[in-house]
Amino acid sequence: MPTTSAPAGAAAALQTGAAAAPKLARLITCRTVSFSDPDQVEAGEFDAFVQALPELFPLVHARLGLERVNGYGLLYRWQGSGTDDDGGPLVLMAHYDVVPVQDPASWDHPPFSGEITDGRIWGRGTLDDKGSLAAILEAVELLLAEGFVPARDVYLSFGNNEETAGDTAQAAADLLASRGIRPWLVLDEGGAVAAQAFPFVDRPVAVVGVAEKGILDVELSTEDPGGHASTPHRRGATARLARAITRLDNHPLPAVLPEPTVEMIGRLAPSARFPARLVFGNLRLFRVPLTRVLARMGGEPGALTRTTVAVTQLQGSRASNVLASRATATANIRVAVGESVQGTVARLDRIIADSSVTLRVLEGNEPSPVSATDNAQFALLEQAITALFPDAVPAPYIMLAGTDSRRFTGICDAVYRFAPFRMDRRDRASIHGDNEYLGVQAFGEGILFYAFLLRSLKAGQ
């Protein structure tokens, strides 16, 4: 088989997915739920997950080196046929921790059952992100069975605390850096082959994240003497806090279209229906009005255009008949590419315009650097996408959420985010929600995608 040959289509994907589905199902049964509080983490479930991997993927564990990173992080090395001058390794990333299940009774299938029915694998983590992890390992397992050796070194970096923005991925990146290793390409979860994602575009769009928004948590607080609720006074702590929140809601931050979003829209133009095709194909003329339209739509379209602010937590008095002596709110902010944490906090302060409201940064990460789309790395991803998903439009985009891959931007200039699975609107809504599942055929397509990518690697690109 030529190293860049395409698979045989849907039948091959279904067959591949069906053969590997029980492996993913087994991994789903491990309740690897991530919590910020270490005392809530069930270490035994993480141990069970790690112990299952050699049984499910024996060739991987017989022929690849494995190091434990930060306790439960897994870093595999597959030595390639090239030399140290080949330009660095490929790093494939995923994470195996999952978010909690709010109400198991609301699921059609138990969330940690790993049931395979109706052509789907059901359970928490199938899409986020055990599906990618299992697809990567299965692709490597199949290639090892053929005697295949990649043209350059390949690392598999699997994290255990991505959902809580933990430090395992940073530890893995630091370990590689300490050995003088700078990856040629890093690929993590993120985008997908998204159907029903863009108005006026009927084709699925394979969105590849070239950057991530920054993540910023800010505490807003006000103080007051307090007192008995039977004798309230005007503009107490809660009232001033409420006014600050209302001002933020009424004055969203400025809307712009960053260059990766402009490129994404331009790539969609040939597949868009009229009149969107006219607008998308002539952004020099329509960039400003399109920005305004997207911003006013809110939701995902609006988030593409600006730094977003969402107040997620509120706290006042602990008793119903006591005036709050201190009132607080937490704002979760996604900082747009081109903006900064410091500049965003300054904007919030100006919008609130109340010196009695204190802003305190709880945690802040700057937006990630933007990876190029005119290099050999992105071209390789496009080649694999076109081979496995010929009906899809490959396009760059800026991720609205965060991934472990941002920890690797200090050692690699080509960091991308793409999970090779078809997802419609319902599929995407199940991520962190109820009834999460991954189709067996979609799982097979993902396995074949990673196998194609590994076969297509060249040394010294």
Catalytic residues: 97, 162
Task: Give the residues across from 188 on adjacent strands.
Answer: 417
Cα gap 196→179, rounded to integer Å: 44
Structural contact between residues 282 and 206, judged by C-beta atoms closer than 8 angstroms: no
Q: List, as one string, the DSSP characters of 102-149.
A: S-GGG-SS-TTS--EETTEEESTTTTTTHHHHHHHHHHHHHHHHTT--
CB atoms within 10 A of CB 449: 27
Cα gap 424→197, rounded to integer Å: 8
Element (H, E) at 249: helix 237-250
CB atoms within 10 A of CB 284: 7
Cα gap 251→248, rounded to integer Å: 5
Residue 331: exposure state from Cβ atoms within 10 A (0-12, 13-18, ≥19)? buried
Q: Which two tokens stand for residue 256?
A: 């712009």
What is the phi/psi pair of residue 205, to 5°?
-120, 120
Element (H, E) at 66: strand 65-69
